[in-house]
Amino acid sequence: MTLKPAKVDVRVGAARVFPALNWMTAYKRDDLVGDMMAGLIVAIMLVPQSMAYAMLAGLPPEIGLYSSMAPLIIYALFGSSRTLAVGPVAMVSLLTLSGIAVVAEQGTARFVALALTLALMTGVIQLLMGLFRLGFLVNYLSHPVLVGFTSAAAIVIGLSQLKHVLGVSIPKSEATYSVAANLWQALPKANPWTMLIGFGAIAILFYFKWLVEKNLSKLRMSAGLANAISKSGPLVVVFAGTIAVWLWGLNGTSAVKVVGSIPAGLPGFTIPELSMADIGALFPVALIISLVGFTESISIATTLASRRRQKIDANQELIALGAANVGAAVTGGYPVTGGLSRSAVNFSSGANTGLASVITAVLIGITLLFFTPLFYYLPQAVLGSMVIVAVVGLFDFKSFLTIWKYDKTDGIALLATFFGVLLFNIEAGIGIGIGTALLFFLHRTSKPHVAVVGRVGDTEHYRNVRRHEVSTCEETFAVRIDESLYFANAKTLENSLLGAVADNPKIRNIVLICSAVNFIDASALEILERVIEDLGSAGVRLCLAEVKGPVSDRLDRIGFLRHFGEENIFMSTHQAMKALGCER
């Protein structure tokens, strides 16, 4: 970077904290149309969705709406993505429910208060992770673990919403099989009107999701309009369901449960309750929400940003999501993160900057101020059906098949997570999954691929003798190890080299090709020193070839290279083989 006057440096510094300054200072009139359209469309989606997810989290519908204001504005200021749509999402709502249900009774004021506490804890954890640049921690949630968790969560969420669609009450229980059993037992008591509305809504939503676009394009409608109409399924079922209940008074004698009265007005400033006992009890789930929420969010943000050659900074994203969650906590909301479907709609509706999210937040505020009475007759079955349809796509059997075919160990980690979540609970499932994945990874790197290589024709390339037609030497073995040398695999190297010497009495030299060795830890160094000594006493000379810069710097620091002998170190395998008289 070239030197610039201090004034500009300040702006660069401020833009690092508030990436929004980048688009604010360069805002163009052309950006506005796209931002306004996207803001409006997302708001229309978000109103019923946020209420539905609040219900999934065991919270009153207004909490969902409250979570869809301040966090959006805060994210627009701090976030490095310009098109990510933040707010309540299914997975985090499920985690909120499962975390708080252990501590408080659903439907109580304490349950709602703890949702704020959880948002604050999630926010603080994400802020700290961002400030201390611990974004890499999220990487330990491997793809198989996430697929297993998401698929299991889809089942858990779907089952949890079935009671709304059936119109029954079931006793609280954690394990999925007992939820299923309870639903089965409650089936005879199901409310026929609720079921009509619920399953009707599911049918309509699936029609809009899968078929409407195709049918409309047959009618020669423009693709853009057809796509917009296909997104309006939720609007249709909300409208139709509300009208039906209101017209026929189904919430009365027919006992169809409705959303009921939502307090009008904007949320006040709220201070979450904090007791050590609650913090301790909620910590595991706050950590999982922080990681899972961030993972979901960052992958959406990265994909959308790359389409326009924009950059996402993982640690800045953590700070932005953390601030958004703290914002949710102090304005009566529960944990939020970037949502997939809304972000995609935001992007494809033409959002250019964070202003789109600000517009969405303002529209939600207007809804809260003036339109809450409109949702009085909205049936809970409609909200439940919206959640069910949204999570169907999360059950990812195709990924499981691909992963299983690609790598059995990854497949096992996936299954372990999946059944862990279903049989025990979410925390246990994720823990089991991460543990399984780590063990398999260690096991994999502990058995490195060691190949004896030979020269390809007259080139300077050396390849595995088992895979290629190569020429080799009797007295000099060239061995390539395809892994960094560290405690879990250094003994394998020792066994390979000493074994080769014991099996081939003619060996006088071994060239160890280190092109795939990215580091040598202290354990491997100790074994390497022992191997050199052991080989020496057996009359075999060990040479190293293609040692990488960082590795040789480190070895140099403790005087290993001097002790080992510079004459035993070669830039390339070919140079080593030539020096050892194996090649002309």
CA distance 76 to 74: 5
Site stretch for its own copies (CB under 8 A), options 32-40, 135-143, 163-171, 179-187: 135-143
549 binding its own copies? (CB under 8 A): yes
508 binding its own copies? (CB under 8 A): no
554 binding its own copies? (CB under 8 A): yes
CB of 318 to its own copies, least distance (A): 13
CB 272 within 8 A of CB 116: yes
CB of 137 to its own copies, least distance (A): 9
Nearer to its own copies, 214 or 466 (CB): 466
CA distance 329 to 384: 25
519 binding its own copies? (CB under 8 A): yes
For the segment 380-409, give every residue that binds its own copies (CB under 8 A): 399, 402-403, 405-407
DSSP state of 231: T
For the segment 70-129, give every residue that binds its own copies (CB under 8 A): none
CB 334 within 8 A of CB 88: yes
Nearer to its own copies, 73 or 314 (CB): 314
Helix (H) or strand (E) run with residue 509 in it: strand 509-513
Binding-site size for its own copies (CB under 8 A) equals 86
Q: Which of 525, 572, 563 is nearest to 545 (CA)?
A: 572
Long-range residue pairs from 249-257, CB within 8 A, at least 24 positions apart, any chain: 250/193, 250/197, 250/379, 251/377, 251/379, 254/191, 254/193, 255/167, 255/191, 255/193, 255/194, 256/167, 256/191, 256/193, 256/194, 256/197, 256/379, 256/381, 257/164, 257/167, 257/194, 257/379, 257/380, 257/381
Nearer to its own copies, 69 or 524 (CB): 524
Q: Which of 127, 226, 262, 314 binds its own copies (CB under 8 A)?
A: 314
CB of 23 to its own copies, least distance (A): 15
Token pair of 101 as six digits = 């249900």
141 binding its own copies? (CB under 8 A): yes
For the segment 555-584, give every residue that binds its own copies (CB under 8 A): 557-558, 572
Token pair of 271 as six digits = 């201070």
Q: Which of 69, 291, 319, 437 binds its own copies (CB under 8 A)?
A: 437
Nearer to its own copies, 62 or 313 (CB): 313
Q: Which of 29, 218, 220, 309 binds its own copies (CB under 8 A)?
A: 309
Strands 509-513 and 337-338: unpaired
Nearer to its own copies, 341 or 572 (CB): 572
CA distance 329 to 194: 34
Helix axes of 276-307 and 314-329: crossing angle, nearest 10 degrees:
130
Interface characters, 459-498, with its own copies (x: CB under 8 A)? -xx--x--x--------------xxx-xxxxxxx-xx--x
Nearer to its own copies, 27 or 487 (CB): 487
For the segment 209-228, give every residue that binds its own copies (CB under 8 A): none
150 binding its own copies? (CB under 8 A): no
177 binding its own copies? (CB under 8 A): no
CB of 12 to its own copies, least distance (A): 15
DSSP of 372-428? GGGGTT-BHHHHHHHHHHHHHTT--HHHHHHHHHH-HHHHHHHHHHHHHHHHT-HHH
3-state helix, strand and coil shares in percent for the chain, rounded to the nearest 5: 65, 5, 30
For the segment 278-307, give every residue that binds its own copies (CB under 8 A): 298-299, 302-303, 305-307
CB of 500 to its own copies, least distance (A): 10
CB of 549 to its own copies, least distance (A): 5
> How many CB atoms are located within 10 Å of the residue 398 CB?
9
Site stretch for its own copies (CB under 8 A), options 18-26, 233-241, 500-508, 561-569: 500-508
CB of 411 to its own copies, least distance (A): 8
- Nearest 5°: CA angle at 337, between 333 and 339? 120
338 binding its own copies? (CB under 8 A): no
CB of 441 to its own copies, least distance (A): 6
541 binding its own copies? (CB under 8 A): no
Q: What are phi and psi of 80, to 5 degrees?
A: -90, -10
Q: Which of 110, 209, 444, 578 binds its own copies (CB under 8 A)?
A: 444
Token pair of 229 as six digits = 């109409």
